[in-house]
Amino acid sequence: MKALSDQNLIQNLYECMPAINPAVANMETFEFGYLLEPLTPADGWASVKVEAKVDIEQRVNDSAFYTSIQLRPKVDSKPVMDAQVLALTQTLLVGLAAGVYEPEWIDKHFTFDIRGAFFLHRTQYYSPAITARLGGKPYRQFEPLQKQFEGLQAVGYKDFMQANTAVDACFIDLTLKLVERLGAPLIIAIAGQTAAGKTEITERLTAEFEAADKKVTTLEIDHFLLDRDYREANGIDSLGLEALHQGLFKACLQEIRQGKPTSMPRYDFISATSSHDLNGNLKDGCQMQTIQPADIIFMEGNFPFLDPDIAALIGIKAMYLTEDDVRLKRKWKRDMDYRKKYELYYFLNRYFREQFIMAEKVYRPQMALCDLIVDTTRASVWLLPELQAMLETQL
């Protein structure tokens, strides 16, 4: 492969990158050059080795690659992008510019985030077993309006909600009908990735049930999280019950199912700390939340029915799914622009690392157990055949 000059590389990429991220077409060539400046190797782009596609595919489908990603690496005391994440992006850019990697191959396996200026591996959430269990095809299919986000650098909730209008309306209608047939009290668990929109759809469902004179309460699982520093130091992060105050969580759930008021921890999402210490004791200066019993008990979070004992107590188990690149656009707007929640490179390194691991350990296992999947990116709703049959039966 003949080495390209830095200027030729930028020009070649500028011409072919819109096929991978249409937002590049909204930039001038010099602006695109600015985007690549922080990625430029010290010895120039000609120093980047282009790897075989099969080697790249093998690496990005190995969980060991993701667990090795550093969240807070530094060079000269300054935060930087993890070296492996940076090297992957540099390799893909050079291979694309040189014609070694086809845009179609890159687009199949990766998405390019224009604000982070890095490539993310496309997570495969569905498996043949998952789709077969849910009847082999979506129960309802709508126009996938999230495609309009492809040319944007960030997405606010208003636009996100409007794009999901049809699929959300279907989900709300299905949930109301299922509760009518299953009866109350009932726990409804909504699992979903960060920034998928699970909190907002839970709020909208709550409003619908309240309008129908149902008493509703919510158990937000994230409030049971241990301190983030402890989770990260012990490699558990947000993966499963080991990341939670387990005793407090199960006690709370048991009490609310018995029709009793219950108290739950309070998690500070800015400082990423819990109101309770590791032993489940309330920290000085912190307060708990009191939850009253209700007809409908919502649980929403990353893994509300990952644990079999918890799953057995749940009446409706729903997965609210949004693709990684769309969620990242939401997080740019919500967490970085508005909340200013993260240091930049920590944000990028963490997002890159977590998507594959969370899909493997948290989301696909719950998709294999859930009653329905609401896929907002594909604008489709999947529903268990037995629940489809229930809905077709007259009361």
pLDDT at 395 over 80: no
Taking the C-alpha atoms of residue 323 and residue 258, their distance in angstroms, rounded to an integer, is 37
- Which helix H or strand E contains 219, and what residues bound it? strand 216-220
Q: Give the pLDDT of residue 97.
A: 95
φ and ψ at 154, to 5 degrees?
A: -155, 155
Under a CB-based contact definition with an 8 Å cutoff, are residues 380 and 140 in contact? yes
pLDDT at 2 over 60: no
Taking the C-alpha atoms of residue 70 and residue 86, their distance in angstroms, rounded to an integer, is 12
Which CATH architecture does the domain made up of 128-215+294-392 adopt? 3-Layer(aba) Sandwich (3.40)
Global pTM value: 0.89
Q: Give the pLDDT of residue 246.
A: 85
Enter the DSSP assignment of 223: G
Q: Give the pLDDT of residue 238.
A: 53
- Domain range list for the chain: 6-121, 128-215+294-392
User: What is the mean predicted confidence (pLDDT) over 136-149?
Assistant: 98
User: What is the mean predicted confidence (pLDDT) over 8-24?
Assistant: 94
Q: How many CB atoms lie within 10 A of CB 212?
A: 13
The predicted-structure confidence for 74-94, as pLDDT tens digits, reads as follows 999 999 999 999 999 999 999
Under a CB-based contact definition with an 8 Å cutoff, are residues 289 and 223 in contact? yes
The predicted-structure confidence for 235-260, as pLDDT tens digits, reads as follows 776 556 788 998 898 888 888 878 88
What distances in angstroms separate CA 310 from CA 50, 160, 175, 232, 317, one per listed residue? Answer: 47, 31, 20, 24, 11
Report the chain's mean pLDDT, rounded to a whole number.
Answer: 93
The predicted-structure confidence for 52-75, as pLDDT tens digits, reads as follows 999 999 999 999 999 999 999 999
Own/partner pairs, 22-26, CB within 8 angstroms, 24+ separation:
22/150, 22/151, 23/114, 23/150, 23/151, 23/152, 23/153, 24/114, 25/151, 26/151
Enter the DSSP assignment of 276: B
Residue reference for tokens 């291979």: 95
Predicted confidence band of residue 3 (pLDDT cuts 50, 70, 90): low
Q: Copy the structure tokens of residue 238.
A: 């947000």
Angle ∠(169,363,190) on CA atoms, nearest 5? 35
The predicted-structure confidence for 30-45, as pLDDT tens digits, reads as follows 999 999 999 999 999 9
